[in-house]
């Protein structure tokens, strides 16, 4: 039996899960893969991790440099997180000719060219299954199972915190603040939840998926992102009456002119399979030319699901090392040069909600402005006045329109004296 030695950097939530999985299921892994994975070094700043996890003294260190310098370590497992020290260590590992496995979506999305370029230059493998969808094997699926397919669209619920909050608002009628507090109390939202709520975390993940699916580099700066902080339970209720469920979707589409990558709250029909993905769960739907639509669902974060994905990457690379195969260059060369389109070019149906004075003529003024901007209305519902409110909610669903046209029209509508405050725009994915 060949044995492959690894070094783990960071023994926090995911790192400790990886150490435990390798200890508990090591024999199973060996019998299934024909390779023994040995932890040569495990590093954390906090020395108490050694006792907590029962790590032998000769294996534990508080200095990450020990892993990079150790000639026995063939695979470095980076589970520190962040984009500073983790990046430095990863680049040094590549220079030393070591393969790397990571769960670090922020680093891969924000420094894509540098990290993937350095791995290619050093001719080493980079495993990153755990960076998207936690335990869901979506990277392997796109890379291997769908390798013969042209991928048209990848669309998913990629953030458990926001999905938990939106589920709470939908099912229990809570407002955003109360749903967030519950999520924090139950450990589904961080004390500082900004990255999750703003859509930033989902944006990291869709950048990684889009570059793999379309085999092209993706510039995170050109990815449209809108979070859920401004979502009002009132709009979720109106949308429900129309047969839609609100989800934070990350979407990457291959269009004729290029690729479009975006993250925003989206209304989806209640019979769409993604509508059933509730609480902290994640799911990714892939639309490809030969397979058609397929969906992958499961736990998108957490110690054990994420460790499961990290270990799968370790074993993949260990197998290649054991049988003398070269590194897997095709997985991240992103060799196509596709134009990344601006969000202005996005097209979808729209849910629009205005607060208007209940006066004759206002509906024709609004529909006139929409018409001038090439937007046609599919349905209109005027709701009852809310308590002590002079203005009434007016809800419209449009046919497919262009983002740039909608933005222009709403700007004009919001200037009408009969319209109060900023109107709400929510993109709608129909039964395509």
Ligand X SMILES: NC(=O)c1ccc[n+]([C@@H]2O[C@H](COP(=O)([O-])OP(=O)(O)OC[C@H]3O[C@@H](n4cnc5c(N)ncnc54)[C@H](OP(=O)(O)O)[C@@H]3O)[C@@H](O)[C@H]2O)c1
Q: Which residues bind ligand X (CB under 6 A)?
A: 9-15, 43-46, 64, 79-81, 85, 103-105, 130, 134, 301-302, 306
Which of helix, strand or coil describes residue 163? helix
416 vs 432: CA distance, rounded Å: 35
Cα Dmax for the chain: 82
- Whole-angstrom CA distances from 245 to 210, 323, 398, 400, 401 are 24, 49, 17, 18, 20
86 or 124: CB nearest ligand X? 86
- Whole-angstrom CA distances from 139 to 274, 310, 318 are 19, 12, 18
Report strand pairing: 347-357 vs 419-428: antiparallel
Q: Which two tokens stand for residue 8?
A: 């783990």
Report the nearest approach of ligand X to the CB of residue 290 (Å).
Answer: 30
Residue whose CB is nearest to ligand X in the complex, by number: 12
16 or 266: CB nearest ligand X? 16
Are 379 and 386 in contact by the 8 Å Cβ rule? The answer is: no
The owner of tokens 């907590």 is: 52
301 or 394: CB nearest ligand X? 301
Q: What are the φ/ψ torsions at residue 404 (nearest 5 degrees)?
A: -60, -40
89 or 413: CB nearest ligand X? 89
- Whole-angstrom CA distances from 34 to 314, 318, 378, 420 are 13, 10, 60, 67
Report the nearest approach of ligand X to the CB of residue 12 (Å).
Answer: 2
Catalytic site positions: 205
Report the nearest approach of ligand X to the CB of residue 80 (Å).
Answer: 4
Report the nearest approach of ligand X to the CB of residue 78 (Å).
Answer: 8
15 or 137: CB nearest ligand X? 15
Report the nearest approach of ligand X to the CB of residue 21 (Å).
Answer: 13
Side-chain half-sphere of 189: how many Cα atoms within 13 Å? 26
- Whole-angstrom CA distances from 262 to 235, 340, 425 are 21, 11, 15
Burial of 351 (0-12, 13-18, 19+ CB in 10 A): buried
Q: Which two tokens stand for residue 151?
A: 């991928």
Element (H, E) at 154: strand 151-157
13 or 294: CB nearest ligand X? 13
Q: Which two tokens stand for residue 321?
A: 């090392």
Q: What are the φ/ψ torsions at residue 298 (nearest 5 degrees)?
A: 165, -160
14 or 401: CB nearest ligand X? 14
Report the nearest approach of ligand X to the CB of residue 129 (Å).
Answer: 10
Report strand pairing: 281-288 vs 377-382: unpaired
Report the nearest approach of ligand X to the CB of residue 280 (Å).
Answer: 10
């Amino acid at each position: 039996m060949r044995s492959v030695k690894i070094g783990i950097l960071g023994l926090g939530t995911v790192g400790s899960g990886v150490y435990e999985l390798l200890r508990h299921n090591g024999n199973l892994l060996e019998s299934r893969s024909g390779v023994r994975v040995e932890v040569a070094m495990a590093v954390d700043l906090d020395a108490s991790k050694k006792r907590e996890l029962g790590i032998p003294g000769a294996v534990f260190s508080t200095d990450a440099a020990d892993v990079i310098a150790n000639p026995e370590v063939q695979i470095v497992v980076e589970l520190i997180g962040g984009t500073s020290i983790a990046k430095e260590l990863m680049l040094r590992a590549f220079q030393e000719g070591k393969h790397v496995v990571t769960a670090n979506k922020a680093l891969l999305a924000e420094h894509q060219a540098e990290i993937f370029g350095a791995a290619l230059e050093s001719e080493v493998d980079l495993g990153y299954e755990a960076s998207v969808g936690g335990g869901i094997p979506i990277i392997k699926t796109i890379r291997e199972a769908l390798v013969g397919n042209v991928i048209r669209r990848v669309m998913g619920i990629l953030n458990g915190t926001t999905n938990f909050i939106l589920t709470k608002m939908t099912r229990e009628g809570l407002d955003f603040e109360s749903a967030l507090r519950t999520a924090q109390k139950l450990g589904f939202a961080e004390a500082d939840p900004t990255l999750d709520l703003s859509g930033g975390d989902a944006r990291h993940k869709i950048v990684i998926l889009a570059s793999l699916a379309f085999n092209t580099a993706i510039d995170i700066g050109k990815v449209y992102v809108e979070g859920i902080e401004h979502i009002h339970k009132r709009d979720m209720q109106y949308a429900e009456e129309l047969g839609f469920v609100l989800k934070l979707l990350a979407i990457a589409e291959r269009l004729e002119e290029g690729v479009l990558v975006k993250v925003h709250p989206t209304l989806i029909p209640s019979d769409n399979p993604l509508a059933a993905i509730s609480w902290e769960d994640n799911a990714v739907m892939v639309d490809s030319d030969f397979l058609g639509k397929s969906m992958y669902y499961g736990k998108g974060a957490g110690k054990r699901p994420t460790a499961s994905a990290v270990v799968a990457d370790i074993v993949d690379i260990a197998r290649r090392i054991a049988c003398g195969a070269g590194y897997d260059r095709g997985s991240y060369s992103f060799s196509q040069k596709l134009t990344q389109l601006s969000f202005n070019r996005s097209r979808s149906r729209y849910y629009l909600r205005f607060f208007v004075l209940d006066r004759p003529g206002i509906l024709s003024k609004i529909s006139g402005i929409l018409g001038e901007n090439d937007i046609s209305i599919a349905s209109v519902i005027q709701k009852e006045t809310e308590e002590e409110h002079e203005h009434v909610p007016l809800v419209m669903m449009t046919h497919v329109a262009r983002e740039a046209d909608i933005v222009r029209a709403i700007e004009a509508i919001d200037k009408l004296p009969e319209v109060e405050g900023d109107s709400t725009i929510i993109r709608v994915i129909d039964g395509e």
